Amino acid sequence: MKKSIFVLSLFFIVGSVFSQKVKMGEFTDQDIELTEVSFEKDADAVVLWEQGQSKFYSGLLETSYFFRVKILKESGKDRGDVRISYYVGDDRIEDINGIKATVTNFVNGKPEEEKVGKENIFDVEIGDGWREARITFPNVQVGSILEYSYKKSDKNITLLDGWTFQNDIPTLASTYEITIIPQLDYRMIGQGEKYFTTTEKEASNGLYRWTLRDLHSLKEEPYMKNYNDYKERVEFQLAAYQAGSSGGYTSGPEWKDVLSNWVELGNEVLSDYKEKGYFRSNPIEKEFLSVDFSGETEKEKAQKAYYFFQDNFILKDDGGFWPEQWINPLLKSKSGTPEELNLALMGVLKSMGIECAPVLIGSKGNGRSNLVPFPFLKQFNEIILIATLDGENYYLDLSDPIAPFGYVGLNKHVKAGLLLVKDQSALIPIDIKHSSNTIMMTDVTISEENVIEMNNTLRTYYYEGLKVARVAKRLKDDNEPIEKLFKEQDGITFSEIDLADDLQEKNYISTKFKMTKEIGDGETLIAINPLTFTSYSKNPFTQEYRVFPVDFGFAFAETYNAKIHIPEGYELDDYPLTERITIPGNAIAFSYSSTAMDGVVNIVAKFEVKNPMIEPVLYPDLKFFMETVASKLSAPVILKKITKP
């Protein structure tokens, strides 16, 4: 992935106003004595201190980085290998110099400092404009303090790298300073729980400083869709710069706005799309002259165009919202990234007179699934389309090679986006409606041959259906039989599998299948568990506690209906009790009911996620809830052979 580049020609010099608060090789008693982190006692290493100091110099941003890490356990010694990646591009956009590193070991309490020699620092060209500086610390022991510093210059002063205060190990203190010179005006945006609550902030004479302390390590948790959205961060975007005096005695310096409002930001992005030809109708119309996109309605036409792209273009997995290819090479190679294909699709729709525009979004995991309400470009990372078809709005996205028309990648289901229309760009709410539910109907009989037969119809809607479609496609691509949809179980035979993909027309996939199992001769009791195949028959939440919210992605319901026909010669002996449970706030609910009538036991269970985001404070309740659900879904119905007197 390439970095987006905004380079402004600005030439001014300001002196540094900073003095380093922490100096290499000068340790506090706390640094030396620390053997464990109070809030993460089993951490194998800790960032004692890290700081970044940014200043502008000759039109560049120069940031001095300094890190101090202590090794607390044997497994933490891996921290002795450090990699610093930076983007050079074609024009040394970023550059790193002045790497210094030392390791200090304490022998009988006395520090023994060793400088890391040049033979242990080297630079690797990774490819695609990226390089990596690597430091290998010698003599890394438990108790060692590793320190390294370097300077990075960056030509991109429109969108600054900013600072991430959190690491994958705990951080005792992380500080970032930037001196904003009078000639530049930046917009700043912060993120994270601590950032808004306990940050020590300072600002005077253009100097801004943030210090965050006692930060937990960042670790992925299950059911977490937007990991990066929780990082403690601060970012910057240029809002205006002083272009110089207009020359007269009376006029002051002239300020030029940079992406200062949504319209300007929109126009900036659109100008790139325009430059690359995505708004030129000529090449598009010429290319698709012989393709039949006709239809009775706008929706029909748009569908034809969408499926044409899906069937005839290759999707590359590199994403973003800046297309690399121009329209002509894209049309020639028929291969492009999602944003390129989306823009080309827009071109086709527009050429047919359909109203269509790109929408920038910050997908889940990009760090900004909740947008900030001012024109901050970095919060966006993907593009979808909005098209008005026969008076109704549709969201379109070509990022999934098998998704039906109107489906948008789930990570793009965010609350708002930036509609890009020349001189009219504005934030719009996004509401992609879908009911990705699951309905399962099961009919259980016991044959005369003593075989339990379960005839099932599983109907999966929308994005749940798409999941099934993906597995089915993978099987087809790998030339595997459709029976492999199911996990093998001892003694159970799957047969009569029939998968009907009606996603495009009806938004569901129906999977019919039969499961059979023989009953041994002479059994007097038969236990039948008709619902143990369900998604939540095993509790997915095994972690002791939760740092981040549980995110189910979207609201949904799974409904199960099983009819067990009691065969002749048997009677119903026992079955699970009716139950209805939820957690405080009612974000998730489960109901289970069982009735017996006319020789049939009817079980209906419903698992419903009403609010997909569940806060960590509710995690113990959720965990117990899910365990109860799992237990209930695997509870048996017991039939007993009638003994003749």
Partner 1 sequence: MLYSLFSLLLFVGLFDFQDKADTPQFIPNHSILKEKQTITVGDGFDYTIRKEITLKVVDRDGLDHAFTSLFYDKLVEVKDFQLEATDLSTGKVIEKAKLKDMKDAAIYSTSSVFDDNRHKYYELETVRFPLEVKIQTESYHSTNFYFPTWIPVHHTFQKVDESILEVIYPESVGIRFKELNLLGTQTEEKLPDGRVKLTWIEKDLPIQGVDFETDDDHKVLLAPQKFAVDGVAGTMNDWEGLAAWQFELNKGRGELPEEFKSKILALVEGVDDIYERVSILYDFLQQNYRYVSIQLGVGGWQTMKAEDVVKYSYGDCKGLTNLMKSMLEVAGIPANYTLVLAGANKDDIEVDLPSNQFNHVILQVPTDNNPIWLECTSNLLPAGFLGDFTKNRHVLVTQEGGGYLTKTPSYNSDFWNKISGTSTLEIDAQGNANIFSSRQLEGNFAEEMMMLKHYLDEREQRDYFNKNSPVSGLIIRDYLLDVKKQDSIPTAKLEFEGHVARFAQATAKRLILKPFLGKITEDMLSNSSLNLEESYEIKLPEGLETESVLEDTKIDEDGLQVSLTNQVENGKLLVRRTINLNIPEEMEEESKEELLKRLNQLGQRSYYFTKSSPNTN
Determine if 81 is a binding residue for partner 1 (CB under 8 A): yes
Q: Which residues between 419 and 448 bind partner 1 (CB under 8 A)? A: 438
Q: What would the two tokens of residue 149 be?
A: 């510093």
CB of 580 to partner 1, least distance (A): 12
Q: Which residues between 107 and 136 bind partner 1 (CB under 8 A)? A: 120, 122, 124-128, 132, 134, 136
CB of 149 to partner 1, least distance (A): 19
Q: Which is nearer to partner 1, 408 or 468 (CB)?
A: 468
Q: Which residues between 351 and 370 bind partner 1 (CB under 8 A)? A: none
Q: Which is nearer to partner 1, 490 or 598 (CB)?
A: 490
What is the total count of residues that contact partner 1 (CB under 8 A)? 96
CB of 632 to partner 1, least distance (A): 8
CB of 100 to partner 1, least distance (A): 17
Q: Is 294 exposed, middle or buried (0-12, 13-18, 19+ CB in 10 A)?
A: exposed
Return the half-sphere exposure (C-beta side, CA atoms, 13 A cut-off) of residue 308. Answer: 19
Q: Shortest CA distance to 227 belongs to which of 550, 566, 627?
A: 550
Determine if 376 is a binding residue for partner 1 (CB under 8 A): no
Q: Which is nearer to partner 1, 269 or 515 (CB)?
A: 515
Q: Which is nearer to partner 1, 62 or 132 (CB)?
A: 132
Contacts 24+ apart (CB under 8 A), 587-596: 587/611, 587/613, 587/614, 587/618, 588/614, 588/622, 588/625, 590/625, 590/628, 590/629, 590/632, 592/632, 592/633, 594/637, 596/572
CB of 600 to partner 1, least distance (A): 16
Confirm if 64 and 53 have CB atoms less than 8 A apart. yes
User: Distance between CA atoms of 305 and 309, rounded to whole angstroms?
Assistant: 6
Q: Which residues between 269 and 328 bind partner 1 (CB under 8 A)? A: 312-314, 316
Q: Which residues between 233 and 262 bind partner 1 (CB under 8 A)? A: none
Applying CB under 8 A, which of residues 535, 571, 599, 617 lies at the interface with partner 1? Answer: 535
CB of 469 to partner 1, least distance (A): 11
- What is the distance in angstroms between the CA of the first residue and the CA of the last residue of the chain? 79
Positions of E strands within 248-325: 253-257, 314-315
Helix H or strand E segment including 97: strand 94-107
Q: Shortest CA distance to 84 belongs to which of 124, 129, 50?
A: 124
CB of 459 to partner 1, least distance (A): 11
**Do the strands 94-107 and 110-115 form a parallel or antiparallel pair, or are they unpaired?**
antiparallel
CB of 220 to partner 1, least distance (A): 11
Determine if 623 is a binding residue for partner 1 (CB under 8 A): yes
CB of 540 to partner 1, least distance (A): 9
CB of 629 to partner 1, least distance (A): 10
Stretch that binds partner 1, among 15-23, 74-82, 290-298, 340-348 (CB under 8 A): 74-82
Confirm if 87 and 5 have CB atoms less than 8 A apart. no
Q: Which is nearer to partner 1, 21 or 640 (CB)?
A: 640
Q: Which residues between 470 and 499 bind partner 1 (CB under 8 A)? A: 471, 477-481, 483-490, 492, 494
Q: Which is nearer to partner 1, 387 or 637 (CB)?
A: 637
- Write the CB contacts of 445 (distance below 8 Å, at least 6 apart in sequence): 452, 453, 455, 565, 567
Confirm if 485 and 458 have CB atoms less than 8 A apart. no
Stretch that binds partner 1, among 10-18, 56-64, 456-464, 604-612 (CB under 8 A): 456-464
CB of 236 to partner 1, least distance (A): 30
User: Distance between CA atoms of 612 and 556, rounded to whole angstroms?
Assistant: 8
CB of 42 to partner 1, least distance (A): 4
Q: Which is nearer to partner 1, 203 or 519 (CB)?
A: 519
CB of 305 to partner 1, least distance (A): 16
CA distances from 278 to 94, 275, 404, 409 (A): 30, 8, 23, 22
CB of 574 to partner 1, least distance (A): 4
Applying CB under 8 A, which of residues 328, 351, 388, 529 lies at the interface with partner 1? Answer: 529
Q: Which is nearer to partner 1, 174 or 310 (CB)?
A: 310
Determine if 621 is a binding residue for partner 1 (CB under 8 A): no
Q: Which residues between 9 and 48 bind partner 1 (CB under 8 A)? A: 40-44
Applying CB under 8 A, which of residues 385, 528, 566, 618 lies at the interface with partner 1? Answer: 528
Q: Shortest CA distance to 557 belongs to which of 573, 578, 536?
A: 536
Confirm if 593 and 577 have CB atoms less than 8 A apart. no
User: Distance between CA atoms of 327 and 334, rounded to whole angstroms?
Assistant: 10
Q: Which residues between 542 and 561 bind partner 1 (CB under 8 A)? A: 542-545
**Interior angle at CA 435, CA 454 and CA 320, nearest 5:** 120
Q: Is 259 exposed, middle or buried (0-12, 13-18, 19+ CB in 10 A)?
A: buried
Q: Which is nearer to partner 1, 21 or 563 (CB)?
A: 563
CB of 521 to partner 1, least distance (A): 11
- 214-241 burial by CB neighbour count: b if 16+ within 10 A, else e? ebbbbeebebbbbbebbbbbbbbbbbbb
Q: Which is nearer to partner 1, 124 or 203 (CB)?
A: 124
Q: Which residues between 578 and 617 bind partner 1 (CB under 8 A)? A: 578, 594
Q: Shortest CA distance to 338 belongs to which of 356, 358, 368?
A: 358
Q: Which residues between 82 and 111 bind partner 1 (CB under 8 A)? A: 83
Q: Which is nearer to partner 1, 125 or 502 (CB)?
A: 125
Q: Shortest CA distance to 79 belongs to which of 69, 90, 89?
A: 69
Stretch that binds partner 1, among 155-163, 178-186, 391-399, 631-639 (CB under 8 A): 631-639
Q: Which is nearer to partner 1, 141 or 297 (CB)?
A: 141
Q: Which residues between 559 and 578 bind partner 1 (CB under 8 A)? A: 573-578
- Write the CB contacts of 424 (distance below 8 Å, at least 6 apart in sequence): 263, 266
Q: Which is nearer to partner 1, 391 or 491 (CB)?
A: 491
Q: Which is nearer to partner 1, 160 or 468 (CB)?
A: 468
* Interface pattern 44-73 for partner 1 (x via CB under 8 A): x-----------------------------
Q: Shortest CA distance to 221 belongs to which of 539, 537, 535, 550?
A: 550
